Structure 1
Amino acid sequence: MNEETRAQPAGVAAGEGRRLFFVRHGETDWNVAGRLQGRRDVPLNALGRIQAAQVGRVLNQLVGDVSGLGYVSSPLSRAVETMRILRTTLDLPASAFDSDMRLAELSFGRWEGQTWPELRRRDHDGVRRRDLDPWRFQPPGGESYLDLCARVEKAIADLPGDAVVVTHGGVVRAALHVLAGMPEGEAALLPVRQGAVYVVAGGAFKVAD
């Protein structure tokens, strides 16, 4: 198991005194094609299912007694399937977990289903505005990262204790900003790995895979 630790300024009270294990869903065919998924319900591909099982093994090494953790997922199918697979890997009942719509991916609105090269041709001005301020930019019919942080912070505050959170790349970026003080500009562009666990505790985080 590989671990990378990164210290950040202390986070908000919602995350203090707990360990939260953030997991991005496994790979989908739209990930491979570079298409913006957002709220589109795209299933895992074969590699994505392998990555989900890998996450279960990493969690087992990190925690040991995984039965005492809370488990909550985005309701989108790629996250739900990832959670079911990792729980099966941990010898836990596959479907015994909660879901929370506040952990769904950042909405890209009318941009969803398109690739960045396609968008640069079809909405050049919009993409340019996003490039200038990716944290505050709101795609047509979608959300900004500021919007995302507001709902993610509320979802995290409602977690009862140490928990595994299976979600999406945008949500992980928002959580690292809210809980570990990652600067907005850095968080907006952070590549969030699949098949890895982002452990947040005490205002800092580490990545294990």
Structure 2
Amino acid sequence: MSESIDVILVRHGRTAFNATGRIQGRIDNPLDDLGLEQANRVGRRLARDLAGHAILVHSPLLRARQTADIIAATSGKVSEIVIDPDWIELDYGTFDGLHQSEVDAKTWRNWRADPTFRPPGGESLVEVEDRVRLALDRLLGLGARSVIVVSHVSPIKAAVTLALGVNTEVVWRTRLDTASICRLSLSSESRSLTGFNETGHLDDPPYVSHG
């Protein structure tokens, strides 16, 4: 049996769009103040969790890059950083920037019922899953025992559905908080989910520098 690697999936920290319920997609927003602190707390958590160094892979969007850079600096456990565009958020097309309430109820029903539904100018959940499948396979070629991936809600949920071997529409029945952690065990022969939407680290006391 082939050797497995540990994959730590981190959703980026909060942005102003997350805080106000707006669809963010490919809009390149920075972290807000809470999001910056959340990223610090993820880094401190991974400093405790990781026995050795890990390679860090992240989406090219700013909110993921900021989260990744803070994790690398805070944890002290990152040996290499790689940008992989297949971990970018779902393309919501013309829905980008809208408040969730501005998308009509019929559209939401159609979206939930059909994983091939594509927002105007955007991509479907099936298309996200297809690229995430390729991205997961590439992680095996990095030569690391542990890999941290900083990404977004839709790609991370796609990775979880692939690990569980369930249908794509299960993403609508799962919650994934900002700066949460999911964990996979990954090999060339199998995928399994070992942790989902971990948020205990976000309740840690804030870091205070005395120097």
Q: What's the TM-score, normalizing by structure 1?
A: 0.82
Higher RCO (C-alpha under 8 Å, 6+ residues apart): 1
| 1:176 alignment partner, one of 160, 170, 179 | 160
Distance of 1:128 and 1:196 partners within structure 2: 27
Q: What are the ranges of 5 or more consecutive residues in structure 1 without an aligned counterpart?
A: 1-12
Contact 2:39–2:70 (CA under 8 A) maintained in structure 1: yes
The alpha-carbon deviation at position 16 of structure 1 amounts to 7.1
| 2:98 alignment partner, one of 106, 111, 114 | 114
Task: Give 3-state SS (helix, strand or coil) of 1:97's partner.
Answer: strand
- Residue 152, structure 1, aligned to residue 108, structure 2: no
Contact 1:180–1:200 (CA under 8 A) maintained in structure 2: no
Task: Give 3-state SS (helix, strand or coil) of 1:146's partner.
Answer: helix
Q: What are the ranges of 5 or more consecutive residues in structure 2 without an aligned counterpart?
A: 186-190, 201-211
Any residues of structure 2 matched to 1:26-37 within 5 Å, and which?
26-37=13-24
- Residue 204, structure 1, aligned to residue 193, structure 2: yes
Distance of 1:93 and 1:184 partners within structure 2: 32
Indicate the residue corresponding to 2:66 in structure 1: 81
| 1:138 alignment partner, one of 118, 131, 137 | 118
The alpha-carbon deviation at position 92 of structure 1 amounts to 5.5
Task: Give 3-state SS (helix, strand or coil) of 1:158's partner.
Answer: helix
- Residue 53, structure 1, aligned to residue 40, structure 2: yes
Structure 1 vs Structure 2: percent identity of aligned residues? 30
Distance of 1:82 and 1:142 partners within structure 2: 25
CA deviations over 1:12-34 (Å, ceiling 9, x no partner): x9x97121000000000000111
Q: What is the aligned residue count?
A: 189
Pair 1:117–1:44, CA change in 2 (3 A): same
Runs of 4+ in 1 over 3 A off after TM superposition: none
Pair 1:55–1:204, CA change in 2 (3 A): same
| 1:127 alignment partner, one of 108, 122, 125 | 108
Indicate the residue corresponding to 1:3 in structure 2: none
Task: Give 3-state SS (helix, strand or coil) of 2:103's partner.
Answer: helix
Distance of 1:43 and 1:111 partners within structure 2: 19
Q: What's the TM-score, normalizing by structure 2?
A: 0.82
Pair 1:166–1:16, CA change in 2 (3 A): farther
Structure 1 range deviating more: 48-57 or 153-162: 153-162
* Residue identity opposite 2:112 in structure 1: D
* Residue identity opposite 2:34 in structure 1: L
